[in-house]
Amino acid sequence: MADDSKAKVIPLHKHSGSLRRHPSALAGPVDQASGTQAAAVVRDLGERRGSAGSTGAAEPTPSEFARRVSGVAAFLRERITGDYQVDEFGFDPHFNEAVVLPLLRVFFKDWFRVEVSGIENLPLDGPALVVANHAGVLPMDALMLSVAVHDHHPIQRNLRALAADLVFDLPMIGPTARKAGHTMACTSDAHRLLEAGELTAVFPEGYKGLGKRFKDRYKLQRFGRGGFVSAALRTKAPIVPCSIVGSEEIYPMIADVKLLARLLGVPYFPITPLFPLAGPAGLVPLPSKWHIAFGEPISTSDYEAGAADDPMITFELTDQVRETIQQTLYRLLASRRNMFLG
């Protein structure tokens, strides 16, 4: 396992959404590896195994496949030597593309069969604040949203999600979340990411959304005090409402055992039809059909200086975003056949 202390910590560009590379990174073959190449080799191996029974499957040429294998070897060498780069939040793009995203795509493509619409509402460059509904007991919606942005955006931008402190206190999960580009849900971190030109995601319902019961599905909870709106106003970043259908059904929560939640130090202890009665099998999410819809951006560039400190402005913008997401959820729900077929 690589020693993260050797990794170069690279400050974020302002309004660039990218990492600075150390000049030496341009010289050696090790640094020419890409996480995308590593993930591509895994896909190619699967295609080769299944090519005998497939029709019209495109198989990479031997030279292309060899190049990708070489890329994987170089990528692994970076891991071992610690010769890779992270930004000030701990984001490791190679790790994200080679490890995190390929694992999440299994759920995105094959399990939840996620449809994405409105991706053109995300900017090609510069900052934007994506505000989405939050549900499903476990934050699978945040993970699927990151895949949707990366894989469907024309230039495959990375989404930097703001998550609860509890996520970063968990062993293995916390460091992985950092490497995948996410950070704590606080106004200061949101401001820094937007100032750096990053696509940033926030889920204002928080635990109230994640832990709501199945009977209250797709009814948005309160959006907090509007801290995300203040960050967008200060940085003049557009706000993009995002509505996610499908996440409410993955773990239908029928009860919350508050005593157990307090004993375990967690926000809620869910009882679902399969958990905890079915044991570990109850942790497998149900294969609901998902749709992620990005709405039209709400501009903040016309607001005067000091608008971020005006509670009436932040309240009005917060309410506008919330209402937009809620109405889009109703529209998407009205057009689907059922929760598993879409």
* Count of helices and strands (H, E) across the chain: 12, 11
- What does pTM read for this prediction? 0.80
Domain range summary for the chain, segments of one domain joined by +:
93-250+285-335
- Parallel, antiparallel or unpaired: strands 291-294 and 239-245: antiparallel
Contact between residue 145 and residue 168 where contact means Cβ atoms under 8 Å apart: no
Q: What is the pLDDT of residues 153-205, one digit of tens each?
A: 999 999 999 999 899 999 999 999 999 999 999 888 999 999 999 999 999 99
Q: What is the pLDDT of residues 131-157, one digit of tens each?
A: 999 999 999 999 999 999 999 999 999
Percent of the chain's residues with pLDDT above 90: 65
**CB within 8 Å of 37: residues ≥ 6 apart:** 67, 68, 71, 72, 75
The CATH class for the domain spanning 93-250+285-335 reads: alpha beta
Contact between residue 334 and residue 282 where contact means Cβ atoms under 8 Å apart: no
DSSP string, 232-280: HHHHT--EEEEEEESGGGSS---EE-HHHHHHHTSS--EE-SSTTTTGG
DSSP string, 10-53: EPBPTTT-SBPPPGGGGTSSGGG--HHHHHHHHHHHHHHHHGGG
Confidence of residue 6 (pLDDT cuts 50, 70, 90): low
Asked whether the predicted pLDDT for residue 84 surpasses 80, the reply is no
